[in-house]
Amino acid sequence: MCGIFAYTGEKESLPILIDGLTCLEYRGYDSAGIFIPHSGLIKSVGAVDNLKKKLSKAMPGKSGIAHLRWATHGEPTEANAHPHCDCNKKIYVVHNGIIENYKELKNKLLLEGHIFISETDTEVLAHLIEHYLSIKQDFEKAVISALKDVRGTYGISVSYDNEPEKIIAARFGAPVVLGLGDRENFIASDASPILRHTKNVIYLRDGEVAVITPKTHRIYNLDSAEVTRDKQILDWDADQVKKDGYEHFMLKEIMEGPEVVENTIRGRLIIEEGQVKLGGLEVVADRLRQINRIIIVGCGTAYYAGLVGEYMLEEYAGIPVEVEIGSEFRYRKPIIDKNTVLLAISQSGETADTLEAIREAKRKGALTLGIVNTVGSTITRETDAGVHNHAGPEIGVASTKAFISQLTALALVTLFIGRQRNMSLSVGQEIAKEIKLLPKKIKEILKSVDDIKAIAKKYKNSKDFLYVGRKYNYPIALEGALKLKEVSYIHAEGYGAGEMKHGPLAMIDEKFPTVAISLKDSVYEKMLSNIQEIRARKGKVIIIATKGDKTLTDFSEDIIYIPKTIEMLSPILSIVPLQLLAYYFALGKKLNVDRPRNLAKSVTVE
C-alpha cells in the first residue's frame, strides 16, 4: 500500500526523491517524508504537494529515502509519517507492510531505554537496528539481525548517516524493485518512478536483502548467502505514467481501453482456427486437459472480473467454476486436489490475500495460474503458468483499464480451454472474430462522453444508486456500483436484477435512481420486467442498452447505447460507460478522482 523510493548516485537527490514520490502517490497519500543524510528529515501530513510547501531550505545530498503513507498503525499525523529514526537520529527507515510482533519488540526496547515518538509499528525497526549496531555489528549485519526478529510483512529501505552512499532494502510480503542506472541506483515499491531513469530492474523476492551504492548492487538472503539474478528490461515506457493532457489518470486510463484490448490480444488470436496462442498456458496445456474444476480468486475489481469469467468458462469450456474473494478463501478449508486449477487475478501481482490463496492451493497439489499485469511480480513467479495483461501501468486507484484487460484475458483463456474440449470450430471462430472487433466498439462508446457527462450532471444530487444486471452483466452491476462508491463516495449497491423483489425494491422511490444494464441478450425480456418494477415505484432509471434498441425509449430518457457483440463479451463494453459515469459524478463533486479517500492502489497487507 505505502510507497517507498530511494536514490543513491552522483546527482542531487532531493528533486529525484520528490519526483519519485509524485509518481507513487496512488499508493498512499496520508502523509509523506524524506530523509537525506547530513541534511536531515522533512515530513508532512497529506499529499506530496504539502511536503513541497515545507521545503523552506536547501537539502543537499547525493542519496536519500522517501515515503508515502497509507495509514495502518497510527493516525495520519506528522509524528507517524515516515521515515522513522532511532534514538541517535542516525538510522532512518521507510516501510510498507505490518510488523505483527511490534508490541513485543517495542516493550523489550523500552526496557533498554529506547524512546519512541510515534504510534507506528515501523519505528521499532529503526530502534532494533540501533540495538544491533550498539553491540558492534556493522550496518548491513545490524539490518539483517533486526529483520530476523520481525514477524509480519515488509518492504523497507534503510539509510544510515554514517554511510550516506549506501542504502539497504529488504522484502518479505511487500514488493521492492531495484532500478539499475548509470552511476546511480534506485529502490521503489514498484517500477513506475524508476522508469524515467532506467528500464533495468531487479525484483526482490521474499527473504532477500539488497545493498545499493551509486556504482554497485548486491543481493543476499537473511543467512547472508549471496544471490545472483539477472536484471529485467521493462517494456513499459515512461510516458505511460504521465497524464498526456488529461485532467486525471482515471480518465486517461478509461480512454486507453481500445489500446489496452489491442495489447491484450496482440499476437494471440488465430481467427481462422477459432483458437488463441497463449504461450504462458501452453507449458501446462496437457495438464489443463485433465482438470475438472476451476477456482478463481481475486479481490475487489479482480473478484468481479472473476465472476464474469465464471459465466464464460462454464458456458463455453464446460468446466465447473467457483469464484472466491481472496481474503475469505485463505481462512476456509477449501477442497482442492490435483485436478483443480486455482486462477488468480491481480493487477499488481502483489495482492496479499490472493498470494496466500495461491500458496494454499499449491500446498494441496492444485495447478496455479495467474492473470497479472505486472511482469516480475510475486504472483507471476509463484504461479505455475499464466497470462500477462500487457495493459501498461495503471496509476488511478480505481481500476478501469486493468479490469477491461482482465475480462479480455479471461475470454482468451476461455477460448483456449474451450477448444481443448467440446467447443466447435465455428463457435471458436465467432468468439475470436468478436474479440478482434472490441477495440473499435470501445472507441465508439467513448464518443458518448458528452451524453454521459450530461446524465451525471442531471443526477449529481443523488445520494443513493442501485445498479442491476443479469447473467454476464450481473458482475458489471457490482463493478459499476463499486466504481461510483470508490471515487464519488455516493452510496451504491450492485444487485442481480432478479433479486429486486427480495429486498432492494424497498429502497426505490423518486429519489433513489437505478442504473440498469439491459442489452439485447438472452435475459433481455427479464430485464425489461425488472425495469418496469422500478418504474412502478416511481424510480428513475439510467439504462445501458444495445445500439438500435428503440423499445427502451418508453422506459427512460436517460439511455446510453453501446454496440452489439456476443453475450459473453458484452461486459467488456457495458463497463465502459459505467466507468465514465463514476468519473463524471466525482468530477462534479470536485473530488480527487485519482486518489479517493482511505484507499490506495496495491493492497499488500491484510
C-alpha cell at 144: 539483517
> What span, in angstroms and rounded, lies between the C-alpha atoms of 160 and 168?
9
Catalytic residue among 2, 85, 87, 299: 2
Task: Give the residue among 501, 316, 488, 296 at the shortest CA–CA distance from 406.
Answer: 296
Pairing, β 293-298 against β 321-325: parallel
Q: Are 586 and 459 spatial neighbours (Cβ–Cβ below 8 Å)?
A: no
> What span, in angstroms and rounded, lies between the C-alpha atoms of 97 and 103?
15
Catalytic residue among 43, 166, 485, 601: 601
**Cα 263 to Cα 270, 353, 473, 521, distances in angstroms:** 15, 28, 24, 28
**Cα 24 to Cα 13, 66, 239, 557, distances in angstroms:** 16, 10, 15, 42
C-alpha cell at 362: 499449491
Annotation marks residue 87 as catalytic: no
H or E element that contains 297: strand 293-298
CA distance from start to end of the chain: 10
- Burial string for 462-493 (b: 16+ CB within 10 Å, else e) reads beebbbbbbbbbbbbbbbbbbbbbbbbbbebb
Amino acid at position 487, single letter = V
**Cα 304 to Cα 310, 386, 496, 599, distances in angstroms:** 10, 19, 13, 18
Rg (CA), the chain: 25
C-alpha cell at 504: 432492494
Q: Quickly tell me which residue has 504462458 as its cell.
A: 280
Q: Beginning with the edge strand found earlier in the chain, give each strand of the sheet holding 177-180 in spatial order.
A: 40-45, 31-36, 63-69, 3-8, 185-188, 177-180, 200-203, 232-233
3-class SS of residue 551: helix
Annotation marks residue 601 as catalytic: yes
Residues counted in the chain: 606
Task: Give the residue among 261, 277, 413 at the shortest CA–CA distance from 345.
Answer: 413
Enumerate the active-site residues. 2, 601
